[in-house]
A and B are shown apart, each in its own frame.
Chain A
């Protein structure tokens, strides 16, 4: 029943798109014959394009299938982490049809994000199994993710987070480690910014300040978190410069609020902490690897979005559990 609902929801949301959509925006880069033989850091994407070269419908169906795999893995991870069956199902269902994920699914060029998500979730799921093969499986999943997209590197921080949450350990030590890693990432980002800028696509990239770069990404973070809650202005090309002073301030405030919530709820609601920490950790490297002058886009928050969904589903599950408990009490 639940599976049928999930499949129906996916088909209602994306069925017409799979049937009628063509190649758009930068898809031509991947569908061009030259792209298929050129060395690329995303071999899984290249292989998948080789496999089904001609029809856009086939490519859109592949994207939707990969998204379905991600949804299944997320539901399984939620269950393994301690959510009830209903809670895990709700997490999977919400992620499957959340509009913020539509760019990652509907845009063919965003397929590497789906591969990376499978790798990250696979690694986190593998670590929850009590099996001697779990670490080789973690490595295998991570390798798969990295072959999809370099952003799968966040699994290196998400796997220990999963382990810490699963064993109900105090998260303080882990939070310290994560903070150090994030700080190092930040320092590297700042230090490497000049080199990064000079690798840019045109000489016009010169002259960007690190502070401006940070403001662009914070403004984008604020927009994307807003769209996660109220997805009414999804777009391929947002105007992040409009009111950037306010939006970047809101972005910084949102990050601080999420981190504070994660910290204060670590004992009472470990899964809420897990979800919020997942979001922040998987978002952090985005500030480093983002091409200067380009803002975070919707498909790039596909993995961070999982954390928000898990956090929300854990709250829903708690609420449902308490109502069920109350009803049983009053029934006695």
Chain B
């Protein structure tokens, strides 16, 4: 390998690494459950991802797991760094989620 090949090899390595990461990142957008599972993994102290994962799981038929995430979201909303607006939003959404779930069950 000559010195001339270094930039090209570095570029190929970088592109291959990006390609793999992009493949993984795009996979997260396959379904709501996968999307919010990844969001919870990245932001474990934020209530909204936990809440949305809870709802997605319940709509996917995984009710008991979904309820656990909804309860987690409720606990996270009480953390000091969560702004008041997000706490209110979590409560608002909880009511909306119950309505959506009831509508889903009724169907």
From the candidates A90, A233, A234, name the one contacting B11 in the complex (CB within 8 A).
A90
A:19-34 near B, CB below 8 Å: 20-22, 24-25
How far is it, in angstroms, between the C-alpha of A86 and the C-alpha of B47 when the chains are bound? Answer: 46
From the candidates A90, A106, A327, name the one contacting B25 in the complex (CB within 8 A).
A106
Given A94-B18, A236-B39, the answer on whether A241 and B81 have CB atoms closer than 8 Å is: yes
With both chains docked as a complex, state the minimum distance between the C-beta of A321 and any C-beta of chain B, in angstroms: 9
Check: B15 CB closer than 8 A to any chain A CB.
yes
With both chains docked as a complex, state the minimum distance between the C-beta of A48 and any C-beta of chain B, in angstroms: 18
With both chains docked as a complex, state the minimum distance between the C-beta of A196 and any C-beta of chain B, in angstroms: 15
From the candidates A20, A24, A320, name the one contacting B35 in the complex (CB within 8 A).
A24
Given A231-B21, A237-B48, the answer on whether A9 and B15 have CB atoms closer than 8 Å is: yes
What 1/0 flags go to A208-233 for Cβ under 8 Å of B?
Answer: 10000000000000000000000111
A contact patch SS: helix
**A-B contacts, CB under 8 A, total:** 126
With both chains docked as a complex, state the minimum distance between the C-beta of A108 and any C-beta of chain B, in angstroms: 9
Contact B25 A324 (CB under 8 A): no
Given A235-B38, A324-B4, the answer on whether A13 and B30 have CB atoms closer than 8 Å is: no
Of B11, B32, B83, chain A has the most CB atoms within 10 Å of the CB of B11
* Interface size, chain A (Cβ < 8 Å): 48
CB within 8 Å of A: which residues of B? 2-4, 6-8, 11, 14-15, 18-19, 21-32, 35-36, 38-39, 42-43, 45-46, 48-49, 52, 81-83, 85-86, 88-89, 92
